[in-house]
Amino acid sequence: MQEPMHECKHNPGFMRDTLVPQVGIITDIRTETPDVKTFRVEALGGGKLFEHMPGQCAMVCAPGIGEAMFSITSSPTNKLYQEFSIKRCGVLTEHLHSLKAGDQILVRGPYGNNFPVETELKGQNLLFIAGGIALAPLRSVINYCLDNRENYGDIDIVYGSRSADDLVQRKEIEEVWSNIPGVNVHLTIDRPQEGWDGHVGFVPSYLQELAFDTNRTAILCGPPIMIKFCLQGLKEMGFAMEQVYTTLELRMKCGVGKCGRCNIGTKYVCKDGPVFRFDQVDALPNEY
């Protein structure tokens, strides 16, 4: 039998059971939208709690309240801290929103696979498509690619939300991403709004207007209905399912493929995912 208290392969130096978290400290909270806040988390002694790859998730826990899986929205290229963009929608997230900088939380991870930034995506033109809070998981990849700009071709970011107020990370998008050569940001909101002179319309229709060629890999994340229509649009543009990646989310308790919740057929979202290519998603039973 193997040694039980082992060194985790995703997480060198982590010698406790993977279910036991570390204490993290919230060093900054940014209010992104009326219901989304971004939490900056550091280890007690400063620095990051652990290393991760873009697309990986972590379990964030408020003792006595609950624990849930959140994608790590900061890029691994950020050496100082990790960030989580969290939308207020349940008991735990409600509590997290009530916290202040300096408060402590428990974090364990990282869990799951990551976007193949060092393999399949390398050297490709990239098309990111996100809706609402779904920018959170993509932001980590986008920033990773931007920080390693030389490894990737053109980068297009199509991002939409209900209103201009609901655009997450708007400052970073407008002040950083938009000013990087070879990066095109396409923002859209669902309904016209005073003070908004950008595009108005749903993400799928905007995507069709933009009419991208298929010489790129798409990374798609958003609410199920948006995914459905975007995917349809990408197919019409001639994209193959092997060219489109997404990240999924289901109820999780353990994060390590044992508690039995997040499986879709034979695949566990926490362990085999959350990042899937759409040809892999298509092969799964329709239960997500």
Partner 1 sequence: MYKIKKENLTALYAAIAAENDLFLPIKAAGQTNFGLWTENAEVDIDTLKTVKSGKDIFFPQSETLYKVRREEGKFAIDGEAPRQTPFVVFGIRGCDVRALAVLDKVFLSDPIDSYYAARRQMGTIVSLACGKPATSCFCKVFGVDCAEPEGDVVTWLVGDTLYWKAKTKKGEQLTEKMTSLLEKADEAAVEAEQAAIRAIVEKLPYSKLSLDKWGAAAADANFDSPIWEQMYKPCLACGTCTFVCPTCQCYDIKDYSTGNGVQRYRCWDSCMYSDFTMMAHGNNRTSQMQRFRQRFMHKLAYFPANNQGMFSCVGCGRCVDKCPSHLNIVKVIKAFEKEGV
Nearer to partner 1, 69 or 127 (CB): 69
CB atoms within 10 A of CB 140: 29
CB atoms within 10 A of CB 9: 7
Tell me how far, at minimum, the Cβ of 20 lies from partner 1, in Å: 5
Q: Give the integer Cα–Cα distance in Å for 52 and 60.
A: 15
Tell me how far, at minimum, the Cβ of 125 lies from partner 1, in Å: 32
Nearer to partner 1, 113 or 243 (CB): 113
- H or E segment at 229? helix 224-236
Q: Give the integer Cα–Cα distance in Å for 114 and 120.
A: 12
Q: Give the integer Cα–Cα distance in Å for 41 and 43.
A: 7
CB atoms within 10 A of CB 266: 9
CB proximity list for 177: less than 8 A, separation 6 or greater? 142, 146, 157, 183, 185
| DSSP-derived pairing of the beta strands 22-33 and 104-111 | antiparallel
Tell me how far, at minimum, the Cβ of 136 lies from partner 1, in Å: 13
Tell me how far, at minimum, the Cβ of 186 lies from partner 1, in Å: 26
Tell me how far, at minimum, the Cβ of 103 lies from partner 1, in Å: 7
Tell me how far, at minimum, the Cβ of 46 lies from partner 1, in Å: 15
**Closest to 71 (Cα-Cα) out of 226, 260, 249:** 249
Contacting positions for partner 1 (CB under 8 A): 1-2, 4-6, 8-10, 16-23, 61, 63-68, 89-93, 102-104, 106, 249-251, 253-254, 256-266, 283, 285, 287-288
Nearer to partner 1, 173 or 264 (CB): 264
Q: How far apart are the first and last CA of the chain?
A: 36
CB atoms within 10 A of CB 44: 11
Tell me how far, at minimum, the Cβ of 183 lies from partner 1, in Å: 30
Nearer to partner 1, 164 or 250 (CB): 250
Nearer to partner 1, 156 or 249 (CB): 249
Nearer to partner 1, 89 or 180 (CB): 89
Nearer to partner 1, 196 or 288 (CB): 288
Q: Is the peptide bond before 116 cis (omega within 30 degrees of 0)?
A: no
Q: Give the integer Cα–Cα distance in Å for 95 and 74.
A: 21
Cα angle 127, 34, 205; round to 5 = 35
